[in-house]
Structures are given as structure tokens and as C-alpha cells.
């Protein structure tokens, strides 16, 4: 994916042992045009005890490559001084990441995008949850409106080491999506597109995109969109299908044909629409191999 070259290497002998500082340049242009990442590593013997990284998108799209490289060189020089003067601070790993939860994965992950806990999208999510259980699969529903999910701030830090610096409730979602076999998005149409909480979660999945590209943590999942709208016809779903489709494409999720249910302004309750539940269940079931075939 990238071409790496050590731009600077410095060895420092101290009473705490031998330290090596490396400034490494990675060409990440296959991810975003012109993206270059500079990483400063401090090794004590063969163990990496400190890492700092910065990329050209993080430092600003208008910044020159020289600016980003210069910032990395300044960090390199300051770390060299700090290691030489305070080597005891670098005798153990000081890696700054946001580890993902070790538990909470499921075969089927359902993103329930409606703010209404007992609305039509929530009912559809429950149908999907039940259908997964019928087929012998584990499932997990994320009620996004009830979670602390902050907007993506476009910092591009996730493309440095594969983690997001924003402190909120996203880590369990990232962990679950990364391990899922099927990902279902249940959403109403809000002003022609998806509700804010769902859009925020999808935007924050740039973190997962970075993990795929930087760490090789690929998503191996099929995707299903189930959307409801107040009006009849296909027109209300144009933006929703595009937005969710791009979300899946960005992560390499292979989408099935969406299930689109309209006329809810008249029907009010999705359960009263003939064939709606059967259609949702059938769409999900088609993505789930029988238990004995896995």
C-alpha cells in the first residue's frame, strides 16, 4: 500500500540503554491523492516505546509537504533531546491509541437510525434481530440516537495510526462493524436523507476506513438498507439510498437490493402494510447462510 523510507535515524546511548529514533516517510497516495505520513519512532533496543505521526491532510489541505515534514523534523529533534536528558521516561511503551472493546461483536449488526425508540424503523430493526436469531446467528442493535456520537471533525488523525482521537461512544460500533458478517441499516427518511445520529455514525466510520487502509482490518460483510418514508413512490428514497450506498462502498460492504417502504404518512404503522415484515425478513434471510452451511 505504501512506500516507506527512513529519512533520519539517530542512536542515543544512555544509562537506561540504547535508544534509536527513526523518522519514516510513508506515501499514502493510494488512499488520498498526495497524502504523505511522517512517523517518528523511539525504540529502546528493539521495543517501540513512543510513536508520533502526522500526515499532510491532517496538517491542512493547503499546507505544503515541506510544512508537514518540518513539523515531523521538529518533533524528531525535540524527542532526541528529551530521550537524552530524561531516558527514564522512555523505559516502557507510551503508545497513545483508543483500543477497541474486546467484546460486543455479533454476526449481524443493525444500525437503528431513527430517533424514535419505538417507531417504524425500530420495529424493522426488531424484525431483523429476530430473523437473525431464527437462523442461529448472533445479532446486536445499536440505537444510535441514545448513544454519544459526535460528528467527524475531519482531522485525519485516524490515518496516522488507525485510531480516532474523539472521545465518545463510537468504539463499540467500530468493533462490531469490523467483525460483522451482515450489516443492516434501518432508517426513516428525514428531509430527504438520513437522521442526524445515523449520518454522524456513518461519517465517523472514516475511522474504520482508516483501519482498513492503514492496519489491513478489512470488513467482510454484506449490507442491507431498509428505509421507510412518509410519501409514496421511489422519489423520497433517492438521497437515502445514495448516502447509505456510499457509506457501504467506502467500507467495502457488499450491498444487497434495498427494501424501501413508503406511504407511512397514510399507513402510520409499518406493521399494517401488507407484506412489509415478510419482505424485510426475506431480504435479510437471503444474506444469511443456514447454520449448517457456515
Q: Dump strand ranges (E) for the chain.
A: 4-14, 17-27, 36-44, 47-55, 108-112, 139-143, 182-188, 222-228, 254-255, 259-261
7-21 pLDDT per residue, tens: 899 999 999 999 999
d(CA 203, CA 182): 19
222, 184 Cβ separation under 8 angstroms: no
184-229 pLDDT per residue, tens: 999 999 999 999 999 999 999 999 999 999 999 989 999 999 999 9
Q: Could you tell me the pTM of the whole model? A: 0.89
What is the chain's length? 294
Q: What is the pLDDT of residue 65?
A: 58
% of the chain beyond a pLDDT of 70? 94
Q: What is the pLDDT of residue 294?
A: 45
Q: Which residues pair with 18 in a beta bridge?
A: 13
- Helix, strand, coil shares of the chain, percent, nearest 5, are 40, 25, 35
Q: What is the pLDDT of residue 195?
A: 97
Nearest to 229, CA basis, from 197, 268, 199, 184: 268
Retrieve residue 14's grid coordinates: 544512555
In degrees, rounded to 5, the angle at the alpha carbon of residue 215 between the alpha carbons of residues 166 and 62 is 60
Nearest to 126, CA basis, from 107, 112, 115, 146: 112
Question: Is a pLDDT exceeding 70 seen at residue 2?
Answer: no
Phi-psi region of 244 (alpha: psi -120 to 50; beta: other; left: phi over 0): alpha
Q: All domains of the chain, ordered by start, with CATH?
A: 6-89 (no CATH), 108-288 (3.40.50.360)
Q: What is the pLDDT of residue 1?
A: 46
Question: Is a pLDDT exceeding 70 seen at residue 4?
Answer: no
241, 210 Cβ separation under 8 angstroms: no
Amino acid at each position: 500500500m505504501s512506500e516507506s523510507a527512513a529519512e533520519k535515524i539517530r542512536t542515543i546511548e544512555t544509562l537506561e540503554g540504547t535508544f534509536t529514533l527513526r523518522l519514516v516517510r510513508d506515501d499514502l497516495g493510494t488512499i488520498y491523492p498526495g497524502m504523505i505520513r511522517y512517523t517518528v519512532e523511539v525504540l529502546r533496543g528493539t521495543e517501540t516505546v513512543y510513536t508520533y505521526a502526522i500526515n499532510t491532510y491532517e496538517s491542512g489541505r493547503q499546507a505544503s509537504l515541506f510544512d508537514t515534514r518540518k513539523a515531523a523534523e521538529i518533533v524528531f529533534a525535540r524527542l532526541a533531546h528529551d530521550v537524552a536528558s530524561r531516558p527514564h521516561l522512555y523505559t516502557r511503551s507510551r503508545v497513545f491509541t483508543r483500543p477497541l472493546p474486546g467484546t460486543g461483536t455479533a454476526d449481524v449488526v443493525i444500525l437503528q437510525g431513527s430517533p424514535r425508540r419505538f417507531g417504524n424503523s425500530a420495529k424493522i430493526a426488531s424484525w431483523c434481530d429476530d430473523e437473525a436469531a431464527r437462523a442461529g446467528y448472533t445479532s446486536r442493535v445499536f440505537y444510535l440516537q441514545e448513544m454519544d456520537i459526535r460528528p467527524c471533525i475531519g482531522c485525519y488523525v485516524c490515518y496516522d495510526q488507525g485510531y480516532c482521537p474523539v472521545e465518545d461512544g463510537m468504539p463499540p460500533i467500530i468493533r462490531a462493524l469490523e467483525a460483522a458478517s451482515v450489516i443492516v441499516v434501518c432508517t426513516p427518511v428525514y428531509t430527504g436523507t438520513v437522521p442526524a445520529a445515523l449520518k454522524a455514525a456513518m461519517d465517523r466510520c472514516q475511522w474504520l476506513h482508516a483501519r482498513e487502509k492503514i492496519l489491513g482490518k478489512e470488513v467482510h460483510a454484506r449490507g442491507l438498507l431498509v428505509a421507510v418514508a412518509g410519501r409514496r413512490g421511489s422519489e423520497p428514497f433517492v438521497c437515502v439510498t445514495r448516502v447509505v450506498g456510499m457509506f457501504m462502498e467506502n467500507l467495502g460492504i457488499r450491498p444487497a437490493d434495498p427494501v424501501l417502504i413508503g406511504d407511512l404518512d397514510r399507513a402510520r404503522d409499518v406493521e399494517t402494510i401488507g407484506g412489509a415484515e415478510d419482505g424485510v425478513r426475506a431480504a435479510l434471510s437471503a444474506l444469511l447462510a443456514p447454520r449448517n452451511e457456515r
